[in-house]
Amino acid sequence: MTDELSGNSFGGDVVVNTKRWGLKAIRNPFVLAVSLIQPLVFLVLFLTVFGNVAGTAVNDTIPGISYESFLLPAIIMQVALASAVSSGVGLVNDIETGMFEKILASPMRPSAMLLGKIIADFARIVVQIAIVVVIGLLLGTQIKTGTLGILGVVGVGVVFSGWYLAFSNALAVLTEDQESTTLVANLLQLPLLFLSSSFLPVNALPEWIRPVALVNPVTYGVDVARSIILGRNVVSDLPLANSPLEALLILFVFDFLFAVAGIFFLLTRTRSDVQ
């Protein structure tokens, strides 16, 4: 009986949850496909509609870069954002179906439950970004740093997604409502992308947008990925970072801050609402 009452170690709890969410992602490939559709539509439309015009502005700032190569990092960040939204929706589903409470009534640690889910979400995001990178390569993107560069770009996408994963899960816990979570998280996606260096270099953006772009995590993610693709430092004139490595560190800081906030909200939710 002692063994039967032992529960799992923290690591064991994490593995159990990673497995569950991984299995759910495999069972429901629709979620994986849906968060790819909009970014891929953007990729094709932007290349077709703005490719020639924007290519000039881009080349003025970053000489020698094709618009395909310039755009791919933005699409990767867009995939990361869209995929992170579905992470929060998954948690809301668990809250709505009662699975969340059922797990809370078990010996599983809430923080391990969240961590296991996030790891499974990261795995899903890796697959989605890899698909986008392959499509980008087929459409003419050149990754000058080769295979390592491809891995690096995928890695940056995953690091970038961390803060939005935490944000969408915190939204899920706060709203406990699928529509509200989807609405808010989706609503923020496009402003985040357009108020950043995603589609045009920061210098080519309207003046009022520039200060926003310089503190926008999307700019940090896009600039690091772009630097990896080109094999040289093309990080915008950011107040907090001058190199890809510094920009990457800032992304980790964003992840950390949002993760702390997410865990805070989760733990608040798991405590009672009694006096």
Partner 1 sequence: MMCDIERRKQVEGESTDSAIDVRGLRVTYADGTTAVDGIDMTVRKGEFFGYLGPNGAGKTTTIKVLATLLTPSDGEVRVNGFNVRTDSRNVRKSIGYMAQETVVDPELTVEENVRFACETYGVPRDERGRRISTLLSLVDLADVADKPADKLSGGMQKRLDAATALVHEPPVVFLDEPTTGLDPEGRDRLWDYFQRINDQGTTIVLTTQYLEEADKLCDRLVLVQDGSVIVKGSPNDLKGRGGDEILDVELTGDQSARRRAAEIARDLGPFNSNAIEETDNGISVTGNSVREHGTMLLVTLDEAGISVVGFDIRKPTLDDVFLAVTGEGLA
Comparison of 30 and 208: residue with beta carbon closer to partner 1: 30
Comparison of 99 and 240: residue with beta carbon closer to partner 1: 99
Report the alpha-carbon distance of residue 33 to residue 1 in Å, rounded.
Answer: 45
Least separation in angstroms between residue 40's CB and partner 1 is: 25
DSSP string, 217-234: HHHHHHHHHHHHHHTS--
Comparison of 9 and 242: residue with beta carbon closer to partner 1: 9
Task: Specify the amino acid at residue 166.
Answer: A
Residue 139 phi/psi, 5° resolution? -85, 0
Residues that bind partner 1 (CB under 8 A): 1-8, 12, 16, 19-20, 23-24, 27-28, 97-99, 101-108, 271-275
Report the alpha-carbon distance of residue 197 to residue 188 in Å, rounded.
Answer: 16
Residue 272, SS3 per DSSP: coil
Comparison of 22 and 55: residue with beta carbon closer to partner 1: 22
Least separation in angstroms between residue 60's CB and partner 1 is: 50
Comparison of 63 and 98: residue with beta carbon closer to partner 1: 98
Identify which of 254, 45, 24 has the alpha carbon closest to the alpha carbon of residue 156.
254
Comparison of 1 and 138: residue with beta carbon closer to partner 1: 1
Identify which of 156, 84, 79, 67 has the alpha carbon closest to the alpha carbon of residue 118.
84
Comparison of 8 and 243: residue with beta carbon closer to partner 1: 8
Comparison of 103 and 143: residue with beta carbon closer to partner 1: 103
**Cβ-Cβ contacts under 8 Å for 109 (sequence gap 6 or more):** 10, 13
Residue reference for tokens 């790819």: 36
Least separation in angstroms between residue 45's CB and partner 1 is: 33
Query: In the numeric block, which tokens belong to residue 270?
Result: 């798991």
Task: Specify the amino acid at residue 243.
Answer: S
Report the alpha-carbon distance of residue 247 to residue 256 in Å, rounded.
Answer: 14
Least separation in angstroms between residue 271's CB and partner 1 is: 7
Distance of CA 222 to the CA centre of its chain: 12
33-60: burial string, b at 16+ Cβ within 10 Å, e else: eebbebbbebbeebbeebbeebbebbee
